[in-house]
Structure formats: structure tokens, C-alpha cells
Amino acid sequence: MNADLILEASGISVHAGSQRLLRELSFTLRAGEVLTILGESGAGKSLLADALMGNLPAGLVAGGEVCIQGQRSAARDARARRPLWGRKIGLLPQEPSLALNPVRRVGSQLEEVLQLVRGLPAHAAAEQSAAQLQAAGLSASGAQYPWQLSGGMAQRAVASMALAGGASLLIADEPTKGLDAHWRDHVTGMLRTVAETGGAVLLITHDLRVAEALGGRLLVLRAGELIEAGEMADILRAPSHAYTRELIAADPAHWPVRQAPVSGPLIVQGRGLSKAFNGKSLFQALDLDLHAGERFVVQGPSGTGKSTLGNVLLGLLRPDAGSVIRAPGLATTALQKLYQDPVASFPPRQTLGSSLRDACQLHGEAWSALQGRLERLKIDASLLTRRPSQVSGGELQRIALARVLCARPALLFADEPTSRLDPLTQRQALELLGDAMDESGAALMLVTHDEDIARVFGQRQQVFAAH
Amino acid sequence: MSSTQTSAWRGLLLRRAIQVLALLLIIGSVCFLMVRALPGDMAMRIAASRYGYDFVGSAAASAVAQELQLQRPLWQAWLEWLGQLLRLDLGQSLVSGEAVWHEMAHHLAASLDLAVTTLILAMLIGLPLGVAAAVRPGGVADRIALLFAVVLRATPAFLLGILLMLLLAVHWGMLPAAHDDQGGTLWLPALTLALGLAAGLARISRSAVREALASPACEFARSKGLSDFQALLRHALPLAALPVLAYLGVHLVLLVEGTVVVESLFAWPGVGHALVHAVFARDVPVIQGAALSMGLLFILFNLLLDALMLAIDPRQRKPGASDA
């Protein structure tokens, strides 16, 4: 047995009753190594992490054997690995700001790990906690509450806590979901540090850019099956499986740049727009013209006023100063919005069909025209008998797109329409959105935190910088 | 940080102070009008309370009416009463002639005794039951807590009070039934009120603790190495405390409401008991005093709860978060 062998997974599988969700999978992870599991949602990536931790939802059964730093247990025996939590396996939670307890100070949440898990006496735990916070660049945050930290600070605090108990295996499940390039690099750097200081990292992601930056080995999962395994660089250079090639092509960095259409008459004009929120100025004295057919992309980190600008142009928010002038002759419903969370933009207890019929009726459109549009958006008619919660996010966002086009918008404001979708679905949804806009000749204002999407989509860009 | 904290506290006190003023005006006026609207001759009822029914004739009644100027128009009496209220003068009891504030101070102290004991008992019974039910949903504690809650919430205070009296005082002789000079008379009325409150507390703390246990914060506490018990104690309970306190704030009205029935039942010399007697005797100043005292008690408890929430939940001390 090798001393630096940290994780040995042999024949890990997950079943729900007789249904197999994850096919037997074996791999090892040594100190200093990074292993990335790549796949779209539903591929079984998170199930694998849960099975290793011993944290599967009720009703799911793991098979195979797990050996963590010499401690061998059956994968089914979740209780055997519970004592290893924090001590040998650390889990980096998906949303660090939610993982911290809002009513307790950051320092005490780290201190308790050192005291209760590591077994340090109180004063030593306090000293050590202060030292670790300082090392993470959080020396002033020990006395703060989690909601007083920025996203990146919370991310660092959570990482310190996950590792404070002495864990050498860090499982990171989608640690970069919804983060922009800046924070993505930050997380990547942090994970690399863990590996460089003798730990091992198991990264679960659908974001190829993180995987690429971290290097190491790669496993590609699809629908619970392993379809490709090997060194990251080799696979990225010469993927052997068609699905892997598709995944790589779905990375926004590899998208072809869209042809900009010819722009037409002026639709909306903003003059001297200013808006502040909670005393923080989001934009000031901004002049903006939007023409028919134009692709205007607003890009920047969250909380910088991207959505606010769109809402001001649509007339959903009043600017603090300046004015928004609509082209004369526009219908009152000519400016439309596509929301970030499609589930929240449909009435939950109505079937999708009845929601769409209402929209048709409201805007005086023939049902057959909408049906044709759904067909072009590759939405099967049978989905319309379901409720919003019963279809996938990608499908629902396309249905939302079909619905918003009922109003024949002259300007469509799409607010992060695909940030919750995985790359394959995201690419498909955005391409359909672009095609629909080209076809209708409407202006598109697209808000995104993804600089690659902004690059391929934007004919004109407005970048909001972090404050 | 400290300046935003003090401003949060100042906002809290200011809000409650405005409530106290509004309460004085509204409760006082409503009581005043309700008493005037009661059927029967007011002077006759007051005279009867003073001298006893056997000694009251129309002469005594008109003497009372003369003395108390009962024949004045309504608005005059109301305006005069308002002026007195602003001078914090609640007048004298029409029956005993004693100052209302003086009488009320005595009743209020007794009611406060009862309310605080009730609150402590309710928390001692309800909270552990709720937490135990939350830790093992569907377990023995959960089922007992559910049964307890359903039965007690469905039992009105007067019935529960009589049952407890029969069982604990008459049958087992453990506690004195009604007010006498021995100690321990507090326990039965307090228990009667506490059981109803505890039933609700058990339900609400169960769901609050379950929700807190399922929160990402608690899951992270466990995955970073804390035991289930440590995660419960250090992360779930502080999170669950907030909705429980909010529930208490709303349901303290049960305490104020319950005191009327329960104090009368157990002859506990509190505000509720005084109120019932004053209504029978048409003793307007005492009715107003009692109603105001009850309202004040309610506001006082809510003020304490608000302060407690502010102390537990640092998020409420954020600037801009103080507007409830």
C-alpha cells in the first residue's frame, strides 16, 4: 500500500431500487493530484461525490468499496465514513455564502472546527484561527458576520473551514457555478494550492475552463457512465469520444462568433441615466441608443447594476436622473424581458399550454403561429401538458422565449437567460435565442457575467467593472 | 458597526413608544364607548355595586348620577377623559373610590407574575419537545408532540383549567386550587395557560429546527467535522430560535387573552380578574385601566422579544434592516 495514496475508489455505483444511476467506477487519487469529473447535469457527478462521502439522499444505495487514507469501508456503509468528515474528507460547498451560518461570526465558525475536530484547547484554537484567517487574506473578517463578506471572501473562509479539521482530500462540487472569470480564477488558484501543499482535490464541474486551468486527470461522465478517462491535456487535445468533443465545443470560449445583423431604426434612447442602490452608484450619466436588430451585451460581475440598467430601459425601474425615450409608434408591450430563472416566470400550478394560450390571446396571436415557433425551438408539443416544475431548465427557458415572442418585441432584454443551464443546453438555448432575434429583427440586450459569451454574441458591449 | 447598532435599538424603542401612545388612545376610547353602549341604567348599576342591590332605589341612583355627572353628553365625558389620560390620570374607581393606577399596579404585578411563570413553563415544556420531535421526525417524541399539540390546541382554557383543577388539586391534592394564603396558588393557572402555549411552541419549534437542520449552513457544519449533536447545538438551534421567537411575539396575545378566563377561574388577583369585575360593576375607569394594562403588558413582552431577536440575529442590526 502506497503511503501517499489518499483515495481509492473501487467499483463505485449508485442505484435507486433496481435502476442504475451510476455505473461501477474505479479510480485512485494521490497526494498532490487533482482529478476532475466532467459532465452535464444529470450525468451522475454529484452522486459520485455523495457516494464517496456517504451522504446519498435517502432511497439511493451505493455499491463498491472506498478506501480513504488506509481506512477501507463498503460504499454502502455510509456511517463508516461519517467520522472521517472534516478529519480526512473535506467538502467545499456549492454556495459558500449559504454554507456559513449567518448568525455567527466567521472567526468562531473556524475556531469551533479547530477546537472540536482538531481537539485544540480554546486559546490555541483562537490563535490558530486568527493565523489561518490571516493566511487566507481575511485577517479583518474574524469578527464579521458571513453576510458582511463578499462572495470571494466567503469562498476563502469556507475553504479554510473545510480543511481546518485536517482533511487531505477536498471534494469540490461545482465550486464555480455562477461565478465570473475573476472569482473563477480565484477558486482555481485556491484548489491548486490545496494540491500543492500535499492534499488531493476531487473537482466536480461542468465548467471546462476550471478543469483546464487546474490540469491533472479527467473523467468524463454521461448519464451515469464513464465515457472517457485520462490526462486532461491529452483529452482536450484529442478527445476520442463524440460526446467529449461536444462538451468541449459547448465551452463558450470555443463558440463561433455570431454574425452581426444589419441594424435598423432607433428603438430606445437613454439620456444621462443614473441609478444608485443603497447609496452605491451603479451607473452615472449614461447615454445609450438601441437600434432594431442590434446585439447589445452588458457584461460584468454580479451586483454591478447590469440588470438594473435593463430594467431602467424597459421602464420597470425609475432612474435617479436622466430619461428613457421610446421611439414613437412603439406598442406599450414592445419592450420585453426574458428572466434569469424561467421557473419563477411561469405560474407554478398551470400547465405550460394554458400559460402559452393566455399569452397568445393577450397579444392577439394565432395559436398555430406559436406552435410553429415551438417547433423551431425544438419543443415537443407533449411538454405543454406539464407544469413548469416538470420540464428541464433548458426546455423551460426555450418555452419562455417562445412566449415572450408572442408580444412581437422590438427590444428583448434577456437577463442572464442561461446562467443556470449547463454548457450544452446553454449553447443550444443561446443559439436559438440569437436565431429568433435575427428572424424577428428585434434588438437584443443580453446580460451575462460570462466574458466569452459576451465576446461571441455582442456586437456592442458595455462592461460593468467590480466596485 | 456600533453606530448602526445603536440606531437599530433607537428605532426599536421609538416604534414601541409610538405604539404605546396609539394604544392609549384606541383602547381607551373603545372601552369608553363600549361601556356607554351597554344595556341597563348605568347609575343604577354603579349604585348597586356600591351599596348592594337590596339598598338601591331611584334616589340612590340619581345621587350617583349627580355625583359622577353621568347625564353629561357623550362627547363631553370623552373629552374630559382624554384630558385626564394625557395627564396620566385614570381617575378613581367608581366603586371603591380608590385611584385606578393604584389598583392597577397591584393587579399588574400579579398578572406579570402569572405571565412570566407561564412563559417559562411553556418554553420548558414546548421547546425540548419540539426539538426532540425535529431530530427524529416520525419517532416517538414526534408522535407524542403531535398528539399533545392537537389535544391541547383543541381544548379551551376554561375546560383545561377545570380538568387540571380536578386532577391536580382535588384528586391528587398536589396543588392548591384557588387563591388562598398558602404559597403555590400560582402553579395551576400558570400551567393552564402554559400548556396551550407549549403546544403551539412545540409545533413551531419542530418545523423551525427541521428547516435549520436541512439548511446548507448545518450541512456544512457536519461536513466540516462537527458531530450531529454539535451541529444541532451550535448551528441549527441559533437559526431556529428566530422563527420561534417571532411566533411567541404573535401568540403572546394568547397570554393576555387567557388571563381573563384563567384568572377568574382561579381567582388570581390579576388584571383580567379585575376587568371582569369592573365590567359587571360598570366601573368605566377600572375597565379602561385594565384594558390599558393588558395592552401595555403585550407591548412590553413584544419589546423584550424584539430586543432578544435583535441580540440573537445580527442581520437585523444591518443598516436599513430595522424597518419591520
Summarize pLDDT for A236-267 with one digit per residue, the tens. Answer: 888 989 988 988 888 888 888 887 777 888 99
Our count of domains for chain A comes to 2
Angle at B309 between CA B306 and CA B312, to 5 degrees: 155
> Which residues of chain A make contact with B220, given a CB cutoff of 8 A?
91, 93, 99-100, 158, 161-162
Q: How far apart are CA B169 and CA B33, in angstroms?
A: 41
CB contact under 8 A, A90 and B223: yes
For residues A237 and A313, membership in a common domain is answered with no
Give burial (CB, 10 Å; 0-12/13-18/19+) of B16: middle
Q: Find out whether A321 and A272 touch, Cβ atoms under 8 Å.
A: yes
Q: At what angle are helices B284-312 and B271-280 packed, to 10 degrees? A: 160
Q: Kindly report the pTM of this predicted structure.
A: 0.74
- Mean of pLDDT values over B301-307: 83
| Max Cα-Cα span within chain B | 85
Answer yes or no: is A139 within a domain.
Answer: no
For residues A239 and A193, membership in a common domain is answered with yes
Q: How far apart are CA A352 and CA A429, in angstroms?
A: 18
Q: Find out whether A102 and B221 touch, Cβ atoms under 8 Å.
A: no
> Chains A, B: CB contacts under 8 A, how many?
78
CB contact under 8 A, A104 and B230: no
For residues A307 and A215, membership in a common domain is answered with no
* A73 three-state secondary structure: strand
Which of the listed ranges A91-95, A149-153, B25-29, B91-95 does the model predict with the highest average pLDDT? A91-95
Per-residue buried b or exposed e for A121-148, using 16+ beta carbons within 10 Å of the residue's own CB: eeeebbebbbebbeebebeebbebbbeb
pLDDT of residue B236: 93
**Per-residue model confidence as pLDDT tens digits over A319-340:** 999 999 998 888 888 899 998 8
Residue ending a domain, choose from A250, A285, A311: A250
The length of chain A, given as a count of residues:
467
Answer yes or no: is A120 within a domain.
Answer: no
A241: which 3 cell numbers? Answer: 469520444
**Per-residue model confidence as pLDDT tens digits over A271-282:** 999 988 767 788
Measured between CA atoms, the residue of chain B closest to residue A115 is B226
Q: How far apart are CA A408 and CA B323, in angstroms?
A: 42
The residue segments making up the domain with residue A220 are: 5-100+149-250
B170: which 3 cell numbers? Answer: 382535588
pLDDT of residue B321: 42
Name the residue ranges covered by the structural domains of chain B: 100-317
CB contact under 8 A, A103 and B224: no
Q: What is the ipTM of this complex?
A: 0.73
- Mean of pLDDT values over A36-44: 83
The helix or strand, by DSSP H or E, that contains position B290, with its residue range, turns out to be: helix B284-312
CB contact under 8 A, B225 and A87: yes
Question: Given pLDDT bands bounded at 50, 70 and 90, which one contains residue B180?
Answer: low
For residues A29 and A155, membership in a common domain is answered with yes
Q: Does A53 touch chain B (CB under 8 A)?
A: yes
> Which residues of chain A make contact with B315, given a CB cutoff of 8 A?
102-103, 145, 147
Percent of chain B with pLDDT over 70: 88
Question: Given pLDDT bands bounded at 50, 70 and 90, which one contains residue B322?
Answer: very low
- Mean of pLDDT values over B32-54: 72
Q: Looking at the predicted structure, is the pLDDT value of residue A218 above 90?
A: yes
For residues A245 and A270, membership in a common domain is answered with no
Measured between CA atoms, the residue of chain B closest to residue A103 is B313
Q: Does A99 touch chain B (CB under 8 A)?
A: yes
Measured between CA atoms, the residue of chain B closest to residue A95 is B216
Q: Collect all residues from B whose CB is shorter than 8 A from any CB in A.
A: 215-217, 219-227, 230, 234-235, 238-239, 242, 312-315, 318, 320
Question: Given pLDDT bands bounded at 50, 70 and 90, which one contains residue A423?
Answer: confident
Dihedral angle sign, alpha carbons of residues A393, A395, A398, A400: negative
CB contact under 8 A, A103 and B313: yes
Chain A closest-CA separation from residue B11 CA (Å): 19
Q: Find out whether A145 and A106 touch, Cβ atoms under 8 Å.
A: yes
Q: Does A120 touch chain B (CB under 8 A)?
A: no
* Average pLDDT score over chain A: 87
Of B217, B223, B312, the CB nearest to A98: B217
**Per-residue model confidence as pLDDT tens digits over B262-302:** 888 888 888 888 888 888 887 877 887 888 888 877 888 88
Answer yes or no: is A338 within a domain.
Answer: yes
For residues A233 and A291, membership in a common domain is answered with no
- Mean of pLDDT values over B307-321: 73
CB contact under 8 A, B216 and A161: no
Beta-bridge partners for A269? A289, A325
Question: Given pLDDT bands bounded at 50, 70 and 90, which one contains residue A378?
Answer: confident
Helices (H) and strands (E) counted in chain A, each on its own, are: 16, 18
Phi-psi category of residue B302: left, alpha or beta, with phi > 0 → left and psi -120 to 50 → alpha: alpha
> Which residues of chain A make contact with B239, given a CB cutoff of 8 A?
101-103
Beta-bridge partners for A13? A63
Q: Looking at the predicted structure, is the pLDDT value of residue A178 above 70?
A: no
- Who wins on pLDDT, B214 or B76? B214
CB contact under 8 A, A91 and B238: no
Q: Does A145 touch chain B (CB under 8 A)?
A: yes
- What is B100-317's CATH topology? MetI-like fold (1.10.3720)
> Which residues of chain A make contact with B225, given a CB cutoff of 8 A?
85-87, 113, 116-117, 165, 167
Q: Does A278 touch chain B (CB under 8 A)?
A: yes
Question: Given pLDDT bands bounded at 50, 70 and 90, which one contains residue A2?
Answer: low
Of B217, B223, B312, the CB nearest to A101: B217
A384: which 3 cell numbers? Answer: 405543454
Answer yes or no: is A305 within a domain.
Answer: yes
For residues A225 and A306, membership in a common domain is answered with no
Q: Looking at the predicted structure, is the pLDDT value of residue B324 above 60?
A: no
CB contact under 8 A, A85 and B224: yes
CB contact under 8 A, B225 and A85: yes
For residues A350 and A380, membership in a common domain is answered with yes
Answer yes or no: is A29 within a domain.
Answer: yes
Residue ending a domain, choose from A220, A250, A280: A250
CB contact under 8 A, B216 and A278: no
Beta-bridge partners for A276? A281
CB contact under 8 A, A147 and B315: yes
Answer yes or no: is A141 within a domain.
Answer: no
> Which residues of chain B make contact with A113, given a CB cutoff of 8 A?
224-226
For residues A302 and A201, membership in a common domain is answered with no
For residues A220 and A275, membership in a common domain is answered with no
CB contact under 8 A, A86 and B226: yes
Of B216, B219, B312, the CB nearest to A103: B312
pLDDT of residue A112: 94
> Which residues of chain B make contact with A90, given a CB cutoff of 8 A?
223-224
Q: Find out whether A348 and A388 touch, Cβ atoms under 8 Å.
A: yes
For residues A201 and A291, membership in a common domain is answered with no
Q: Looking at the predicted structure, is the pLDDT value of residue A29 above 90?
A: yes
CATH number of the domain that A73 lies in?
A: 3.40.50.300
A153: which 3 cell numbers? Answer: 471572501
Question: Given pLDDT bands bounded at 50, 70 and 90, which one contains residue A359?
Answer: very high
